[in-house]
Structure 1
């Protein structure tokens, strides 16, 4: 980590000469504790999704709905993340990163508290929607803080490092969630989310100053959010990165939103064993982020993205073959899911750095469009797989194959 800070400091010195105006928060004074705070902030959404997954089937039973309906809590959360991006992005450019981070954390904490006391599915889904709005505010503004400082290749490496640190969340969350479910039921999971959110809020209040540049502020004041979005969407390169990142995220969320039903209902996996599976798959994210950082030191950002496109095409073919051949072997499905989850890390970090680099003066809006595409397509894909759930793994594998194929075409 010290080595990476040194590299970023050299870049920052080159980018901002001694006689130039310098931003408030500079990479060479970005302390490890600030990086860990940003990592925890970006881990908020994965924690909110993964923590309760092991107890989602039990939650459905208690609320009097079927197992398939449990996936709605994930779909609604993804919808909130998608819709919130389009509002928070321009707001972050206009009022700053710090206010949107702190406000989002407060919203997340309150919504988690309401969810922990829900006695019906509509109340739970409403709480999950507001929880998602808070999480998306934190996620987007934290990423914009990074983009405020770095060029796309450097930002991609730091995004991978943040994911590497924050990768503990999806690894540990399902295990912690399973233990909490045993001790206090699914409600204990939402109480834990509130506590985690409060911890991040305390750290962010103390450690994260404002980072928005004067250029970003001026651009936000001179145009409406719609004008900012239209300007970005006219860029052909931006469009392709948007499609690739959105489709890749949709493949991941198809698995995430339907894995509990498939593995526990179809294959009879216990909640604790399922939590271990989710943790192992999340470990693929950590492994892939480390590989991505190394690849970016040896190859251009575009070259790494093209490698990811080829990998997505191969995985799409494998998932489609499994779905259409009728093969149902659990080890095969686990292996494909592991590789698919790992493929998400480089695509997400590198498309995010690319779109924010293209729209540097509109970093919040650029990140918002990518985030909205990821979570909107994720919610759509997860809902489609859930709607056609037939007590087999076929809907999950087919939908995953389609969106991986789209990713491959966009990056090809």
Structure 2
């Protein structure tokens, strides 16, 4: 998708729309890794086709995996036993690639260098690299991207401690590759906090679905036995975190948005949106048709610990800037190490539009003020772009400096956003046609 400036469209009426969001990035990339080490070929239906998942497919191909992704059903065939890796694996800005692939590469013969975008070189990696060294991997002495790794099929594995306070992806990365280690893994998290626990739960569930023996004898300890990973054909759930801006659109415009195919049960952190947006004043209903959020005309302030779903922070912060009252978002100190320093970015951009925002060690405090237009910098961060789009619905003249960064997890975001607003136009026109006596009132009620 082309990048560049994007004038965030204003909602001229309440947003009424039905939306289908693409597949979950978290589930897609975990499914790809597990398919790459399975005991036979398998298929992935509805996988997310975006930059992060393309980088994952290319990385796994460098390890010898064959991936036929020419249709909506991807066929994944594990590498031949005699494959040797080499060259450079491009991680882009994808945390799942830079963290999930090295433990797997550590079990493949050959030498490979991991590198990525400039911003990726400042993302934390040292706890994972140290843990890999502790279980027998051969790495250079780098503490971040780029680094070079030489694989060995007899990688010992075994007991290892890790401080995953800065990213739960370290834990998932080691668990996903652990069936390939000679002794499996006995992994303990030893840090003060552990963010994004639902993502670890997703990893454990997907391992168990493929016949892998995963035990959790105590809190923050996982024991994975070595052995085969059963090939399994899977269908990917829609990405619930990427539904956040569309649901937020209904909340801030007193509209109604339905996200199709919302799962009744899921390990995705985005499922927390139901409770979070309900706390902010929305009416939320889950039916066979999907999840429907209806704005009530009053956006309440939010006090929430987002440690389990920190990727929701940018969109929620944007909504908080439109709320009635002061909001406190906590449990998110670790997002300083995400695609950008999201706390600093949100503080700067919301302040630039007129809000009063302050950082603290563990999160943000947001005092709403009358907002005005301006340039919203995205920092090459897809979640920041989504937040700016939400604000643009109700604040005149907001311009995002680069909409192209949404290609990381949703290349079609601008088109889906425009379609949402076009559906709203059709809804208003139909409503006025059916109730002409209410036409002027409906127009006056538009935000």
Larger Rg: 2
Q: How would you bin the TM-score normalised by the shorter chain? A: under 0.3
What is the TM-score when the length of structure 2 is the normalising length?
0.23
TM-score by length of 1: 0.25
Determine which structure has greater relative contact order: mean sequence separation of CA pairs < 8 Å that are 6+ residues apart, divided by chain length.
1
- The structure with the largest strand share of the pair is 2
Higher helix share: 1
